């Protein structure tokens, strides 16, 4: 499934800054407190929620991948009286090029298959797919999303097993790399 996702300034400039050893005071993306920033930006680790931070740290620090989006998952109620829904845990990965994307997808698919086979009876399923990231300056790039999807609508079951599954997925991913 391919669809449009987040938008931000200049993708190529973002990748260059990510790979730069320079520590920058603030990446001028937007004034949002959750702006997309490179890992050299002082705001980067403050923006990564604690429930997903170990996986993001493994992706960034151990594998050298670029992440542009993450969420530890939340239970949301749209309107009073409506049924709550689960906003799933996820991490968005921005490949530097097609070769890196193909390598990432191979590793991610294998790790997801391992984790899903071990946790087939739990309420969380790991899914990997691609989407398009559009730049305000023009152009777009295909990105990779790692999703921890609920198998049912029961949030308590989802969040009860989510941490164990993200930890196991991280271990499986590091093993296949």
pTM reported for the whole predicted model: 0.86
Record the tokens describing residue 168, joined without a space. 């196991």
> Which structural domain range is residue 161 located in?
4-75+83-176
Record the tokens describing residue 35, joined without a space. 């702006």
pLDDT of residue 2: 41
Mean pLDDT of 2-22: 71
d(CA 32, CA 43): 11
Q: Which long-range contacts (CB under 8 A, 24 or more apart) does 150-155 make?
A: 150/86, 150/88, 150/123, 150/124, 150/125, 151/122, 151/123, 151/124, 151/125, 152/123, 153/83, 153/85, 153/86, 154/123, 155/75, 155/84, 155/86
Record the tokens describing residue 113, joined without a space. 């298959």
Q: How confident is the model at residue 82 (pLDDT cuts 50, 70, 90)?
A: low
Give the pLDDT confidence of 155-172 residue by residue, as tens digits: 788 999 999 999 999 999
Record the tokens describing residue 64, joined without a space. 């050298």
pLDDT of residue 30: 46
Q: Is 145 exposed, middle or buried (0-12, 13-18, 19+ CB in 10 A)?
A: middle
Record the tokens describing residue 112, joined without a space. 């997801």
Domain count along the chain: 1
Q: Are 49 and 74 in contact (CB under 8 A)?
A: no
Q: Residue 45's beta-bridge partner residues?
A: none
Which range is least confidently modeled, 31-45, 97-111, 129-143? 31-45
């Amino acid at each position: 499934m391919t669809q449009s996702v987040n938008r931000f300034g200049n993708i190529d400039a973002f990748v260059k800054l990510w790979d730069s050893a320079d520590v920058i005071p603030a990446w001028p993306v937007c004034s949002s407190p959750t702006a997309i920033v490179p890992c050299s930006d002082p705001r980067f680790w403050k923006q990564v929620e604690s429930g997903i931070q170990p996986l993001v740290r493994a992706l960034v620090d151990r594998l050298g991948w670029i992440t542009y989006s993450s969420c530890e998952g939340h239970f949301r109620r749209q309107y009073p009286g409506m049924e709550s829904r689960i906003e799933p845990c996820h991490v968005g990965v921005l490949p530097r090029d097609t070769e890196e994307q193909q390598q990432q997808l191979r590793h991610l698919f294998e790790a997801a298959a391992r984790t899903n086979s071990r946790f087939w009876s739990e309420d969380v399923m790991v899914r990997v797919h691609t989407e398009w990231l559009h730049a305000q300056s023009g152009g777009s790039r295909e990105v990779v999303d790692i999703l921890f999807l609920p198998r049912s609508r029961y949030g308590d079951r989802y969040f009860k097993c989510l941490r164990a599954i993200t930890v196991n997925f991280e271990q499986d991913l590091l093993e296949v790399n």
